[in-house]
Amino acid sequence: MRQRTWACLFALLLAGAASAADPYSVKVVKAAPPKELKEPVAKLLGDQSIQFLNDKAELLAEVWLRTDVPAKATAEQVKNGLTWQEVEQTTLLGAIRITKQVGDYKKQKLKPGVYTLRLGFQPQDGDHMGTAPHSEFSLLVPADRDEGKATLEPEALHKLSAKASGSGHPAVLLLFPVPAKELGDAPTLLKREGGVYGVSIPLQFDADGKKAKMGVGLTLIGNSPSV
């Protein structure tokens, strides 16, 4: 009888471990940036792909990061830790290849393809109040429409990004802050409340020759509770 009890308990523990397993995983592989990118964009990116996979090990998306994101920061700001306020809006952050149709943070469908990722700030107006826990986003631009300029006019970026969503609204992926204590040397799985998953990235910055690192969480699964 006791043996049977222990067997049942062991089975329950295994079931609990399986149910607690993450539905997504992250893997980093050596890979050149996608050939769909314009040359001025591709040359700014590293040669590592951050792969985002589901629980069947199927590739959903992969991300290439800019090797050094430009920032305008003093030595003191670098020492105390960079914030997005030291990075110009519309700056290129990287690129993404979506391999299976997913939705952005606004629940808009994103078709498989290659897109650039540029920094955008959520407008501080009544239409956007309470729609996201943070105001920083990565806006997707179809690869063939991004010429690789250092920055763009925010309105121009919004129009280009709307080509990725197929609607009048930009295609947006929320950026979460990642505390230093959660940040490793390599990208890891990002998990947040509300079924939000993505990649936790140690993004590298260059502030007039001063190197810095900031933890960035790029949302790939999950959307605003207001949509």
At 102-140, the pLDDT tens digits run 899 999 999 999 999 999 999 765 454 556 889 999 999
pLDDT under 50: residue ranges of the chain: 1-3, 5-19, 126, 128
Q: Token digits for 41?
A: 């964009």
- For the chain, report the end-to-end CA distance as a whole number of angstroms: 53
Q: Are 86 and 207 in contact (CB under 8 A)?
A: yes
At 147, the amino acid letter reads E
Measured CA to CA, the distance from residue 164 to residue 196 in angstroms comes to 21
Q: With residue 157 as reference, give the H or E element that holds it.
A: helix 154-165
User: For residue 145, how far is the Cα from the chain centroid?
Assistant: 20
H/E stretch holding 206? strand 196-207
Cβ neighbour number for residue 150 with a 10 Å cutoff: 11
Give me the pLDDT at residue 13, please: 39
Give residue 66's pLDDT: 98
Backbone angles phi, psi at 106, to 5 degrees: -95, 10
Two tokens at 79?
A: 């020492």
pLDDT of 126 reads 47
42 phi-psi bin (left φ>0, alpha ψ -120 to 50, beta other): alpha
Contact residues for 6 (Cβ-Cβ < 8 A; gap 6+): none
- For residue 215 the two structure tokens come to 């933890």
Report the half-sphere exposure of 37 (CA within 13 A, side-chain side): 25
Residue 50 near residue 78, CB atoms below 8 Å? no
Domain limits, the chain = 22-221
Distance CA 204, CA 48 (A): 14
Classify 153 as helix, strand or coil.
coil
Q: Is 195 exposed, middle or buried (0-12, 13-18, 19+ CB in 10 A)?
A: exposed
pLDDT digits (tens, 9 = 90+) for 54-70: 999 999 999 999 999 99
Among left, alpha and beta (phi > 0; psi -120 to 50; other), residue 49 is beta
